[in-house]
Amino acid sequence: MKILNLKEGSFPIKLNLAFDSLSIPDVGKLQNQLNIEASISRISKSILKCDGYISGIFIDICQNCLNKTNVEINNKIEVAIKDSTELLNDSSDQDQTHYQDLEYFNIEIFIEEEIALLYPDIVKCRENCSLTEQELEKERNLPFKKIRDLID
């Protein structure tokens, strides 16, 4: 667990991290490493910004066929960071804002929240996974199935 004091120090802060495991509910198991390259810069006294990239591969279960499948996360990070004391007073319309105590900023909590937001809601092994492999093979072998269904 890496803790930073973002209320003082020199900016930008460069982060080059690799995580071997994460404990996020409803997210698959991390296959190798989760790599993060980011920079935290100060915009104003109470607002910081994190820009960077996050990438990793998770093993999860397809929600249709229940086979194991890889879920690749490879996204940009563009998040405003504010102190948790400003949570109730914040009237800005920013979509991507992370609230945490800036004096004891926990990088792991920040990364876990970003993964939870980036992870797909529906995990499928392939786009047309509603059909099983046997049904797909049967569909391929019956080119006039729709016409036969209409006749019957």
Question: Domain limits of the chain?
Answer: 3-126
Query: Using CA atoms, how far apart are residues 140 and 145, in angstroms rounded to an integer?
Result: 10
| pLDDT beyond 80 at 123 | yes
Which residues does residue 55 pair with via DSSP β-bridges, in sequence order?
Answer: 35, 74
Question: pLDDT tens digits, residue range 74-102?
Answer: 999 999 888 887 776 666 666 678 888 88
Query: Using CA atoms, how far apart are residues 17 and 34, in angstroms rounded to an integer?
Result: 8
Question: pLDDT tens digits, residue range 60-71?
Answer: 988 888 889 999
CA-based angle 42:95:63, to the nearest 5? 125
State the chain's maximal CA–CA distance in angstroms: 76
| pLDDT beyond 70 at 21 | yes
